[in-house]
Structure 1
Amino acid sequence: MSANEDSFTHWKTREEIAESMIPIIGRLHRERDVTVLLHSRSLVNKSVISILKTHRFARQIAGAELSVTRTLPFLQALTALDLGPSQIDIGMLAATYQSDGRGLSVAEFTARAVAGATGVNKAESRSGRDVVLYGFGRIGRLVARLLIEKAGSGNGLRLRAIVVRPGSGLESQDLVKRASLLRRDSIHGPFQGTITVDESRGLIIANGHEIKVIYASDPASVDYTAYGIENAVLIDNTGRWRDRAGLSQHLRPGIDKVVLTAPGKGDVPNIVHGVNHDTVKPDERILSCASCTTNAIVPPLKAMADEYGVLRGHVETVHSFTNDQNLLDNYHSSDRRGRSAALNMVITETGAASAVAKALPDLKAPITGSSIRVPVPDVSIAILNLHLARETTREEVLDHLRTVSLTSPLRRQIDFTTAPDAVSSDFIGSRHASIIDAGATKVHGDNAILYLWYDNEFGYSCQVVRTVQHVSGVEYPTYPAPAV
C-alpha cells in the first residue's frame, strides 16, 4: 500500500469513528441535558468533518493533534454513567488521563472525573426559562440563533418572543422579511435548521420553536403574561436605555430580569462572563453584558494581572464598522461617524477601557483606550499594551496564555492561535470572547503587547447567552473542573 493510500485509509477510519460519536453526543444532550465539549468547543449538532477539525485544532494548543481514537472511549464511558445536567470536556478527560499515574481504566477514570455530575451528586434539570428579545438587529438575531441551537432537551432557555417597533409591523410581509433576515446572514451564513412563518398567529417558527413577534413602541405598553410568558429574562438589544431607570421600564408583567447588550451606566452591573459573573446577586434584576471590546480585553487582562501584575495599560481597538455609521457621507450626531464606513478608517471613542474598572474592581492600574473603525463588516482586533509589575519573556507569556486558554476557568473566554498567516476573516464565528495571536505577541522586560482578535458580533453574542444562562440557573458545571 502506498503512503497516499495509507493516509486515505486512516482518514476514512477516523471519519467512521467520528460518525459513530454523533448519535452518542446527541442522546446525551437530548435525554440527559449533557453538552459534550472538546477543549471548550461544543460537539453538539456537529458534522463528521467539524468533529475531526475540532480534534485537529487541539494541536495549536496542546502541541499535537488529538485523535478520535483517544476520545471515543471516554465518550462511550459516559453513556454507562448516571449523568445529570452538565458540560463534559472529553478533550480534557483524554489529556488528564494521559498524565494520571493511578493505573485506572478509562471507565474508572471517567467515573471519578465526573463524579460531581452523577448519582446523588448530579444537578437537577431545571424547567425551561422564558426569554424575550427586545430588538432584532445584528446581536438580537445572533442571540436568537444561539438560543434556538442550545434549546437541546428543552430544559434550558426558551426564546418565546421578539419585540420590534410597530412602524414596520404594519407593512406587508413584515414577518416574512424578519424571518428571512434570521434565515440568511451575509457574514455568518445560513441558519442551521428550518424557519417557517405563521402570519395569522404572528409567529416565526424556527426548528419547532414558536416565537411570537410583538409590536410595541415602548416597553410600558406590553403585558407579556398575555402571551403566556412568565418569569422571563428580557434581553434588550437596542441600547436605547442604559441606566437603571430606563431599563426598569422592561420590568413588566411576565419579566423577571433585564439584560442589556451594551455598556450599562450608573449602578448597572457590567458583567463579563468568566470574570465577574459570579458577583451577580440573586436578587439583581438589571444588568449589562458590557461591550464586545470589554469582553475581549478583560479576560486576557485578568490572566496577565493574576500572573504578572499590571501597573498600567492602553488598548487600541481596530474595530469593524457597525450599523450606527453611515454607508456614505451624511449627517451624524457623532463626530466622524457621518463619514463613509465603507471607504474610511474612522477614529472614534470606546468606553471599553473605563468599563474595565467595573469588571475588575481589584485592578487599580489605569487603563486608557481609543478606537478606529475600519472597512470590514465583522471581527476586530484589540492591541493591549501593558506595563507589568515584573519582567518576563515572550516564551513565558505565551506558555501562560496557552495554558489559560486550555485548562483555566477562562478557557471559554480566551482562545489561542499560532497560525502564522491568521487574518480577521479566520475568526468569523468564533465563540470565544478573545483570541490570543501568538505570532504577533511582543514582550520586552516588563512590557507586553497582546494582539487580541474577536468576533465582535458572534463571540459577544455567546458571552451574552452565557450570562443569561448563569442568571437563569441553567448554566451547568463543567467536568473535569478547570484548574484555578
Structure 2
Amino acid sequence: MTVNDDSFTNWKTREEIAESMIPLIGKLHRERDVTVLLHSRSLVNKSVVSILKTHRFARQIAGEELSVTETMPFLQALTALDLGPSQIDLGMLATMYQADERGLSVAEFTAEAVAGATGANKIDRREPRDVVLYGFGRIGRLVARLLIEKAGSGNGLRLRAIVVRGGGAQDIVKRASLLRRDSIHGQFQGTITVDEETSTIVANGNAIKVIYADDPTAVDYTEYGIRDAILIDNTGKWRDREGLSNHLRPGIEKVVLTAPGKGDVPNIVHGVNHHTIKPDEQILSCASCTTNAIVPPLKAMDDEYGVLRGHVETVHSFTNDQNLLDNYHKSERRGRSAPLNMVITETGAASAVAKALPDLKAKISGSSIRVPVPDVSIAILNLQLAREATREEVHDYLREVSLTSSLKRQIDFTTAPDAVSSDFIGSRHASIVDAGALKVDGDNAILYLWYDNEFGYSCQVVRVVQHVSGVEYPTYPATAV
C-alpha cells in the first residue's frame, strides 16, 4: 500500500469516528444541556469535517494534533454518566489524562474529572430566560444568530423579540433577509420564515416578534408575553444610566449595552470582571470590541510579569459610522471614504481599561487607525514589564493561558506563519495572540492581537448575558484561576 493510500485510509477512519460523534454530542446537548468543547471550541451542531478541522487546529496551540481516536473514548464515557448542565472540554480531558500517572481507565478518569457535574453535585436545568434585542444592526444580527444557535437545548436564553423603527414596505422581509445572508459571515445556519401578518420571524423554530417603536418608553413587553427579560441595546444611542433606564419597561428586568458605558455604568469584559456584577444591577455595558480584545491579555501579562505602562495601537476595520465616499461627518476624519483610506481616529479602549481592571496601576494610552477591510482588526499592545523576560518564556506562557487558564474562552493562540486578518473571521475568542509576531526584549513586550470586532465581540456579549441570567454553566475539567 502506498503512502497516499495509507493517508486516505486514515482519513476515512477518522471521518467515520467523527460521524459517530455527532449524535452523541447532539444528545448530550438536547437532553442534558451539556455543551461538548474541544479546547474551548464548541462541537455542537458541527459537521464531520468541522470536527476534524477543530481537532487538527489543536496542533497550533498544543503543539501536536489531537485525533478523534483519542477524544472519542472520553465522549463515550460522558454518555454513561449522570450529567447535569455543564460545558465539558474533550481536549482538556485528553491532555490531562495523558499527564496522569495513576493508571486509571478513561471511564474512571472522566468520572473523576467531571464529578462536579454529576449525581448529587449537578445543578438543575434552568428555565429559559427571555431576551429582547433593541436594534438590529451588525452586532444585533450576530447576537441573534448566537442566541438562536444556543437555544437548541430548549433551555438557556430565548430570543423573544426585536425592536426596530419602521422601515416601510416589506420591512420585516428585508430584515429577515439580512439575518439570512451576510456578506462577511456567510449564510445563516438553518431556516428562516416570515409571517408578515403577525410581524414574526421564525428562525430554526424560534418565533421572534418584531416590534416597531421609535422610543423605548413606547413599549410594554408584557403585551407580548415577555417576562423578566434581558434587553440588549445594540444601537449605542443611549450610553449613560439615565438614558438606558428608559428600557426598564414592563417585562424588562435588565439592560445590557453593546458599547462603552458612560458615568457609573459598569463596563464588563467577560472572563475578567464579570464576577463583579452585583445581583441587583439592572444596567451594564459590555464595553467595546477593542476593550474586550486587549483587557484579557493585559490581565494575563500583569498577573505574571507586572505591567508598568503600555500603549495600544489598534488597526481597525471600517464600520458603519464612517462614510463610503467623502461626505459630511461630525468627526473630522471619519467623513473621508472608508473603503479608500486609512483613517486616524480615537479609541476609548485604553481609558476603559481602568473600569474593567481597576487594580491595574499602569497607565495605558491608545490610538486607532481605521483601514479598508470590512471585519477583523488587530491590536498592537506595547508593554513595559515589571521584570525582564524572554520571548520563549512569554510565548509559552500565553499559549498555556489560551489552553488551561480561566481566560481560555477569551484568549486564543495561533502559530500559523502565514496568518492574515480574514483567517479570523468568525473567531469566538475576544482576541488571538499571533505567536509569530510576538516581540520581547528584556522588560519590553509587544503583543499582536487579532480580533473579529463583530463576531468575537458578539460572543463576549452573549457570555455576559448568560452570566447575568444565571444560565452560564460551569466548565469541566476545572481550569486554573
Instruction: Tell me whether the two structures share a fold, i.e. TM-score over 0.5.
Output: yes
Q: Residue 369 of structure 2 aligns to a residue in which SS?
A: strand
Q: Residue 150 of structure 1 aligns to a residue in which SS?
A: helix
Structure 1 equivalent of residue 326 of structure 2:
329
Paired residues for 1:426-437 under 5 Å? 426-437=423-434
Structure 1 equivalent of residue 360 of structure 2:
363
Matched residues in 1 for 2:117 and 2:19: separation?
A: 26
Contact residue 329 and residue 340 of structure 1 kept, 8 A: yes
Contact residue 32 and residue 83 of structure 1 kept, 8 A: yes
Q: Residue 153 of structure 2 aligns to a residue in which SS?
A: coil
Paired residues for 1:78-93 under 5 Å? 78-93=78-93
Structure 1 equivalent of residue 250 of structure 2:
253
Q: Residue 353 of structure 2 aligns to a residue in which SS?
A: helix
Deviations 1:208-265 (A, max 9, x none): 0000000000100000000000000000000000000000000000000000000000
Q: Deviation of residue 180 (structure 1)? A: 0.2
Q: Is the aligned partner of 1:439 residue 2:473?
A: no
Structure 2 equivalent of residue 75 of structure 1:
75
Paired residues for 1:161-172 under 5 Å? 161-166=161-166, 168=167, 171-172=168-169
Contact residue 87 and residue 479 of structure 1 kept, 8 A: yes
Paired residues for 1:206-225 under 5 Å? 206-225=203-222
Deviations 1:259-282 (A, max 9, x none): 000000000000000000000000
Contact residue 33 and residue 152 of structure 1 kept, 8 A: no
2:357 maps to a residue whose letter is L
Deviations 1:278-319 (A, max 9, x none): 000000000000000000000000000000000000000000
Matched length: 481
Q: Residue 15 of structure 1 aligns to a residue in which SS?
A: helix
1:262 maps to a residue whose letter is A
Structure 1 equivalent of residue 174 of structure 2:
177
Paired residues for 1:18-167 under 5 Å? 18-166=18-166
Matched residues in 2 for 1:6 and 1:483: separation?
A: 40
Which runs of no fewer than 5 residues in structure 1 stay unpaired? none
Structure 2 equivalent of residue 202 of structure 1:
199
Q: Deviation of residue 62 (structure 1)? A: 1.0
Matched residues in 2 for 1:274 and 1:306: separation?
A: 14
2:365 maps to a residue whose letter is T
Structure 1 runs of 4+ with >6 Å offset: none
Matched residues in 2 for 1:483 and 1:283: separation?
A: 28
Matched residues in 1 for 2:376 and 2:175: separation?
A: 24
Q: Residue 151 of structure 1 aligns to a residue in which SS?
A: helix
Contact residue 234 and residue 258 of structure 1 kept, 8 A: yes
Structure 2 equivalent of residue 281 of structure 1:
278
Matched residues in 1 for 2:98 and 2:241: separation?
A: 50
Q: Deviation of residue 386 (structure 1)? A: 0.1
Structure 2 equivalent of residue 425 of structure 1:
422
Structure 1 equivalent of residue 480 of structure 2:
483
Contact residue 348 and residue 371 of structure 1 kept, 8 A: yes
Deviations 1:171-200 (A, max 9, x none): 211111000000000000000000000011
1:67 maps to a residue whose letter is S
Structure 2 equivalent of residue 338 of structure 1:
335
Contact residue 431 and residue 459 of structure 1 kept, 8 A: yes
Q: Is the aligned partner of 1:414 residue 2:411?
A: yes
1:85 maps to a residue whose letter is P
Matched residues in 2 for 1:78 and 1:409: separation?
A: 23
Matched residues in 2 for 1:343 and 1:391: separation?
A: 42
Deviations 1:392-449 (A, max 9, x none): 0000000000000000000000000000010000000000000000000100000000
Matched residues in 1 for 2:260 and 2:45: separation?
A: 32
Deviations 1:149-178 (A, max 9, x none): 011211110000000012x1xx21111100
Task: Choose which of 214, 224, 228 in structure 2 pairs with 1:227.
Answer: 224
Q: Deviation of residue 8 (structure 1)? A: 0.2
Deviations 1:364-400 (A, max 9, x none): 1000000000000000000000000000000000000
Percent of counterpart pairs with the same letter? 86
Matched residues in 2 for 1:373 and 1:224: separation?
A: 39
Deviations 1:73-132 (A, max 9, x none): 000000110000000001100000000111110000000000000000001000000000
Contact residue 224 and residue 255 of structure 1 kept, 8 A: yes
Matched residues in 1 for 2:479 and 2:177: separation?
A: 40
Matched residues in 2 for 1:386 and 1:335: separation?
A: 30
Q: Is the aligned partner of 1:239 residue 2:236?
A: yes
Q: Is the aligned partner of 1:264 residue 2:261?
A: yes
1:125 maps to a residue whose letter is R
Matched residues in 2 for 1:410 and 1:153: separation?
A: 25
Contact residue 270 and residue 359 of structure 1 kept, 8 A: yes
Q: Residue 446 of structure 1 aligns to a residue in which SS?
A: strand
Matched residues in 2 for 1:48 and 1:84: separation?
A: 26
Matched residues in 2 for 1:262 and 1:57: separation?
A: 32
Q: Residue 308 of structure 2 aligns to a residue in which SS?
A: strand
Q: Is the aligned partner of 1:308 residue 2:283?
A: no
Structure 1 equivalent of residue 399 of structure 2:
402
Matched residues in 1 for 2:169 and 2:245: separation?
A: 33
Q: Deviation of residue 138 (structure 1)? A: 0.1
2:214 maps to a residue whose letter is S
Matched residues in 2 for 1:72 and 1:378: separation?
A: 35
Matched residues in 1 for 2:59 and 2:238: separation?
A: 44
